[in-house]
Amino acid sequence: MTWRRVLKAFPTVVLVVDIVIRVVAVVLVPRNRRPSSAMAWLMAIFVAPIPGSVLFGLIGSTKLPQDRRDKQREINSLILENTQGLDSRAPTVTQPPWFGTVVQLNRTLGAMPLIPGNTATLLPDYADSVAAMTAAVDDAERYVHVEFYILTRDETTYLFFDALKRAHDRGVKVRVLYDHWATIRNPQGRVTRRWLRDAGIRFEEMLPFHPTKGMWRRPDLRNHRKIVVVDGDVAFTGSQNMIDPSYNKRGNMRRGLQWKDLMVRLDGPAAIGLNALFITDWYSETDELPTDSEAEPIVEQRTGPDTIECQVVPSGPGFDGENNLRLFNALVYGAQERLIIASPYFVPDESMLYAITTAAERGVDVQLFACEVADQFMVYHAQRSYYETLLRAGVRIFLYEKPTVLHSKHFTVDDDVAVIGSSNMDMRSFSLNFEVSLMVRGSGFVDEVRLIEDDYRSRSHELTLAAWLSRPAGLQVLDNVARLTAAVQ
């Protein structure tokens, strides 16, 4: 009799639970969440209430634990305190006229000042970039700080690792950070960890995901930054991981895929800004602040006709706002003549899509460089779902020839400003990844980036609206499904 009553009551219980889940979701899900993400989550929960609500409970929040966010605020306060007055000493040239407000935006969100007195060297060749970082490590006298999303010792990078070992053996303080999930999943990841341990080099895994050890967090919150700092005088950043350009994966090798990236070497006080970001991540993982000899203050530098102004812009789930998205949108709205974007994963939110299409519609020459070939199936199709909107607005889209994966992440605004870094223009980079962007003002630097963009254009084919509209209907459906999936965060 009891089981019969339970079975009779079961549909009623399921109905009540279903209704409660839906009501709670309507109240809870939209809080402090962008509308597109909230709508995607609500759709998932309404279609499958119990699985959808469980999934939302596991990965619905993009925030890190409170203690990590408190560490970020602590470091920000120290940076602001140690760089007081630098803003007023920075050049006050008002070209372009909107630039000062963007600098203030970055200062408010990420704490870093605009730093004059730097020189920069662009490194668009993969092997040359690894060689330049290796040479800088060999010249180190006091410390080397290394941070990469993916860090593996392989046929392309072993010379860099050997340089780290030589530096360590001669008494240089070497500290290494790498993203745990991204590196360990790579075929060479565990071998690399073992090599670092055997070499005696101090290393830490960023955002470690070890549920059995109590290290649990949303697994797709990752540290995507790429930074090398040597003695506080020289630094490298950009899009390139420390790994073979095939990423050591059989599927990539079988298809002949090779990554193409862009790194920049900085000489000058901006290197200390990147070092401050490394120290932030080291402190977050270890509760340990490096010694004063590894954490120099940023000081005023002489400026000259060949120097550039740089501002380091950190972003990620340790911050309250989406620093990189706000920076990118501000620069897009500031563009008056030309806006050129290179992003391998272009999945913008509504604000960025409106900013870019608005720029094109008000007469700005907007160009987007993306990949002809895919290495991430869903992201590739989600990106394609935006092409029709962009083309109709007048954006020119160039697809880099396969089998190269154009992995560079940068853009230029008119003839004055450039941004280069680790951040894609997608919702993952805006909300889920720790990223670093370097904003540069200097016409000479922009000219050099434009030469690289010209090279991209010569190796790409331009997509037309007519050709795009003629693609099979099945692909259109797949693109839109991927776009909806990408909105769920």
Q: State how far the Cα of 99 lies from the Cα of 111, in Å rounded to an integer.
A: 17
Q: Is there a contact between 352 and 329 (Cβ–Cβ < 8 Å)? A: yes
Please report the pLDDT score of residue 80 as a whole number. 67
Q: What is the structure's pLDDT at 477? A: 66
Of 43-47, 232-236, 357-361, give the lowest mean pLDDT range: 43-47
Which residue matches tokens 């200097």?
442
* Model pLDDT, residue 302: 60
Contact 164, 137 (CB under 8 A): yes
With cut-offs at 50, 70 and 90, classify the pLDDT of residue 89: very low
Count Cα neighbours of 294 within 13 Å in the Cβ-side half-sphere: 21
Rounded to 10°, the helix 473-487/377-384 angle is: 110
Query: CB of 281 within 8 A of CB of 177?
Result: yes
The DSSP call for residue 215 is: B
In the numeric block, the tokens 């668009």 are attached to 124
The token pair that represents 107 in the structure block = 């200062």
State yes or no: pLDDT of 101 exceeds 90: yes
pTM (predicted TM-score):
0.89
Radius of gyration of the chain, Cα coordinates, nearest whole angstrom: 23
Which amino acid is present at 425? M
CB atoms within 10 A of CB 13: 10
Enclosing H/E stretch for 371: strand 365-371
Looking at the predicted structure, is the pLDDT value of residue 109 above 60? yes
As a whole number of angstroms, the distance between CA 188 and CA 185 comes to 8
Fill in the amino acid letter for 14.
V
3-state class percentages of the chain: helix first, strand second, coil last, to nearest 5:
50, 20, 30
pLDDT at 90 (0 to 100): 47
Q: Cα–Cα distance between 165 and 25 in angstroms, integer?
A: 53
pLDDT over 90 for what percent of the chain?
60
Please state, rounded to an integer, the average pLDDT across all residues of the chain.
86
Q: Give the pLDDT score at 255.
A: 93
Rounded to an integer, the average pLDDT of 70-81 is 73
Q: Which residue has the tokens 């290179």?
A: 342
Q: Is the pLDDT of residue 53 over 80?
A: no
Assign 432 to helix, strand or coil.
coil
Q: Which of 86-100, 265-279, 328-342 has the lowest mean pLDDT?
A: 86-100
> Is the model's pLDDT at 236 over the cut of 90?
yes
Task: With cut-offs at 50, 70 and 90, classify the pLDDT of residue 352.
Answer: very high
